[in-house]
């Protein structure tokens, strides 16, 4: 099957050119003009951008939380991702206490059988011991080449510095990447207890008890330990100026220091968490939303490449029935926001608003995450030999984001009522149409597991 995408503007991280794209089977065969081919199908891309399918390296589908699960599983979440222009996700497999990494990973392989788009896994490590360190090497050999550790949530996820350092050393030896949730959980837990003791139970207190200074402190510690371990390190969901300054400082020192931020930290703030009533619970995630002045700094970080990636940390919980577990206690509100469908378009508003250029946009949503996480042999750009994961994006389409029209399985949108420009109109994965003009054509389970290469930062 040969498909010719005709008349569009091909945008990659480095180029913007008027060209046709020839797809042969699952791969991009050629890019150029005036190709003399007889395609089986032609897609007219006149007036639209032809961009690589986006890569979201931070999602949580089907994640257990307090007796229930994230409201998107791999079926609904991957479908919503495709509608939003994302054709690859890297989700977090979770090790339960007392079990092997293998058992946790196998459980995620099972869950992901329902994915309609291609996927890889990071592994969340909750305990470090000799067996786990050995298993890390085994997993790297199977293409699970990144491990997430926590400095927050004592008694649930948090590891001490010794355990983190050991995992970093092991990762340095095997070519894996350590990803850190960087917030100092000890003082944060003390603050949470104190606030609740004073009867301060509203959602906004979730942010007030997790101040930016404790994120900055943790990021600082990550890169000092990474330096000692001679390991690269990557900060997930960086939210504040304090944390970003620590990344900058480490990079200036020559440490292999990397970080992602998320759309919520670029577009939402603590003001949303302070909305009247219980409304603020919709915006509870960790690290929390900050004051508005942090946003500009994060955009600067993206422009200067001190932040290399924007991913979603997609972890949706319904407002009714899930978020309201914390009605009388902000610390019981499930942490996480829905946004796997919105990232591509939200980030594109950065182009519309003149914050970033078009090529940088593609780099941030597709090319850089693919490269950072060992997918750059197949994903993240449009070039001969690469998977034909392609978004035909109409930059002039205007619409309003709403829970009424989104495809995520969650009863609210953090961006309800927001006017945006641009629509991923046609989305292809490996040459197959997933989405076209609002209709979904993929079969549940047609996504493939992507073994990822060792990390070469």
User: 146 or 429: whose CB is closer to Zn ion?
Assistant: 146
Query: Residue 276 Cβ, how far from Zn ion at the closest point, in Å?
Result: 28
* Distance (Å) of CA 55 to CA 120, 147, 427: 10, 18, 13
Residue 62 within binding range of Zn ion, rule CB under 5 A: no
Q: Count other C-beta atoms under 10 Å from residue 120's C-beta.
A: 25
Q: Give the number of residues written for the chain.
A: 457
Stretch that binds Zn ion, among 285-293, 310-318, 340-348, 445-453 (CB under 5 A): 310-318
Stretch that binds Zn ion, among 212-220, 241-249, 311-319, 342-350 (CB under 5 A): 311-319
Stretch that binds Zn ion, among 169-177, 307-315, 318-326, 366-374 (CB under 5 A): 307-315
Q: Give the pairing of strands 54-59 and 27-32.
A: unpaired
CB 287 within 8 A of CB 380: no
User: 174 or 286: whose CB is closer to Zn ion?
Assistant: 286
Residue 217 within binding range of Zn ion, rule CB under 5 A: no
Site residues (CB under 5 A) for Zn ion, limited to 274-293: none
CB 382 within 8 A of CB 391: no
Q: Which two tokens stand for residue 351?
A: 């182009």
In terms of Cβ atoms closer than 10 Å to its own Cβ (0-12, 13-18, 19+), residue 40 is exposed
Residue 341 within binding range of Zn ion, rule CB under 5 A: no
CA 24 to mean position of chain CA atoms? 29
User: 183 or 313: whose CB is closer to Zn ion?
Assistant: 313
Query: Residue 312 Cβ, how far from Zn ion at the closest point, in Å?
Result: 9
User: 246 or 313: whose CB is closer to Zn ion?
Assistant: 313
Query: Residue 152 Cβ, how far from Zn ion at the closest point, in Å?
Result: 11
Query: Residue 453 Cβ, how far from Zn ion at the closest point, in Å?
Result: 22
Residue 260 within binding range of Zn ion, rule CB under 5 A: no
CA dist 416 and 373 (Å) reads: 32
The strand pairing partners of 68, in sequence order, are 65
Query: Residue 340 Cβ, how far from Zn ion at the closest point, in Å?
Result: 12
Q: How big is the site for Zn ion, counted in residues (CB under 5 A)?
A: 1
CB 45 within 8 A of CB 386: no
3-class state of residue 53 by DSSP: coil
Q: Could you tell me the end-to-end alpha-carbon distance of the chain, in angstroms, rounded to an integer?
A: 36
**Across the chain, how many H-helices and E-strands are there?**
14, 21
Query: Residue 232 Cβ, how far from Zn ion at the closest point, in Å?
Result: 19
User: 118 or 313: whose CB is closer to Zn ion?
Assistant: 313
* Distance (Å) of CA 400 to CA 230, 274, 350, 403: 47, 23, 16, 10
> Residues 202, 217, 306, 313: which binds Zn ion (CB under 5 A)?
313
Residue 272 within binding range of Zn ion, rule CB under 5 A: no
Residue nearest to Zn ion (CB): 313
Site residues (CB under 5 A) for Zn ion, limited to 369-428: none
Query: Residue 450 Cβ, how far from Zn ion at the closest point, in Å?
Result: 19
Interface residues with Zn ion (CB under 5 A) are: 313
């Amino acid at each position: 099957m040969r498909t010719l995408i005709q008349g569009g503007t091909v945008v990659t991280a480095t180029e913007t050119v008027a060209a046709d794209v020839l797809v042969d089977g699952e791969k991009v065969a050629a890019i150029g003009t005036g190709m003399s081919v007889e395609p089986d199908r032609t897609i007219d891309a006149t007036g639209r951008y032809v961009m690589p399918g986006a890569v979201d390296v931070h999602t949580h589908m089907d994640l257990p939380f307090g007796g229930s699960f994230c409201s998107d599983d791999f079926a609904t979440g991957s479908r919503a991702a495709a509608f939003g222009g994302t054709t690859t996700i890297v989700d977090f497999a979770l090790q339960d206490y007392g079990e092997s990494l293998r058992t946790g990973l196998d459980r995620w392989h099972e869950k992901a059988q329902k994915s309609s788009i291609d996927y890889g896994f990071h592994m969340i490590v909750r305990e470090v011991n000799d067996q786990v360190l050995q298993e890390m090497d085994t997993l790297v050999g199977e293409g699970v080449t990144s491990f997430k550790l926590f400095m927050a949530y004592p008694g649930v996820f948090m590891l001490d510095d010794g355990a983190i350092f050991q995992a970093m050393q092991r990762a340095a030896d095997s070519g894996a990447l350590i990803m850190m949730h960087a917030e100092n959980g000890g003082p944060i837990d003390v603050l949470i207890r104190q606030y609740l003791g004073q009867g301060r139970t509203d959602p906004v207190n979730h942010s007030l008890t997790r101040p930016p200074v404790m994120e900055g402190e943790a990021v600082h510690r990550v890169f000092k330990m990474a330096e000692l371990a001679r390991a690269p390190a990557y900060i997930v969901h960086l939210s504040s100026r304090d944390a970003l300054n620590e990344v900058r400082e480490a990079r200036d020192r020559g440490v292999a220091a990397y970080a992602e931020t998320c759309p919520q930290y670029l577009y939402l703030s603590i003001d949303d968490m302070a909305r009247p009533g219980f409304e603020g619970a919709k915006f509870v995630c960790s690290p929390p939303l900050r004051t508005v002045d942090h946003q500009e700094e994060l955009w600067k970080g993206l422009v200067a490449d001190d932040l290399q990636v924007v991913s979603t940390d997609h972890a949706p919980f319904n407002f009714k029935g899930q978020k309201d577990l914390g009605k009388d206690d902000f610390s019981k509100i499930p942490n996480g926001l829905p946004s796997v469908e919105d990232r591509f378009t939200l980030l594109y508003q950065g182009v519309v608003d003149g914050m970033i250029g078009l090529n940088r946009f593609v780099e941030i949503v597709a090319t850089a995450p693919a490269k950072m996480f060992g997918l750059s042999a197949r994903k993240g750009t449009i070039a001969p030999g690469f998977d034909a994961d392609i978004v035909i994006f109409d930059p002039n389409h205007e619409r309003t984001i709403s829970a009424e029209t989104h495809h995520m399985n969650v009863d609210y949108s953090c961006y309800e009522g927001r006017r945006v420009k641009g629509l991923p109109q046609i989305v292809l994965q490996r040459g197959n149409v997933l989405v076209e003009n609002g209709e979904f054509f993929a079969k549940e389970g047609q996504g493939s597991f992507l073994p990822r290469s060792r990390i070469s930062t």
